[in-house]
Amino acid sequence: GQQVMQIPQYQHVQEGEDFTTYCNSSTTLSNIQWYKQRPGGHPVFLIQLVKSGEVKKQKRLTFQFGEAKKNSSLHITATQTTDVGTYFCAGNFNKFYFGSGTKLNVKP
């Protein structure tokens, strides 16, 4: 069946350092979404990428969709303690398949 793999599982950074999480699919995706789940909370939608090679930015967050539409990345520049949480990608195969998530911890 469809699978969406996400790495790394955990990332610990010092405040101010950059962070990147990667998402890979075994099959071509129609689109990919990114969500953030704060500790004890529920996933909240961040962004959706649809086009091959698409790049979108939200302040310090940069999202990329691969040319083959099989991989994606989320990069955070100069992390802050408010960035703490788990970041999930979700590939859409007519229903949302979530990656295993990358848990980000930011030390002040």
By CB under 8 A, tell whether 6 contacts another protein.
yes
The CA distance from 16 to 37, in Å, is 21
The CA distance from 23 to 102, in Å, is 10
Quote the tokens at residue 98: 């979530």
**Residue entry with tokens 């996933």:** 43
Residues 23-62 touching another protein, rule: CB under 8 A, are 30-31, 33, 35, 41-45, 48, 50
Cβ atoms 23, 71 nearer than 8 A: yes
Say whether the peptide bond before residue 108 is cis (omega within 30 degrees of 0).
no
By CB under 8 A, tell whether 101 contacts another protein.
yes
Nearest distance from C-beta of residue 78 to another protein, angstroms: 26
Which of 12-20, 51-59, 74-82, 100-108 is the region at the interface with another protein (rule: CB under 8 A)?
100-108
Identify the residue among 14, 82, 94, 108 touching another protein (CB under 8 A). Answer: 94
The residues binding another protein (CB under 8 A) are: 1, 6, 9, 30-31, 33, 35, 41-45, 48, 50, 88, 90, 92, 94-101, 103
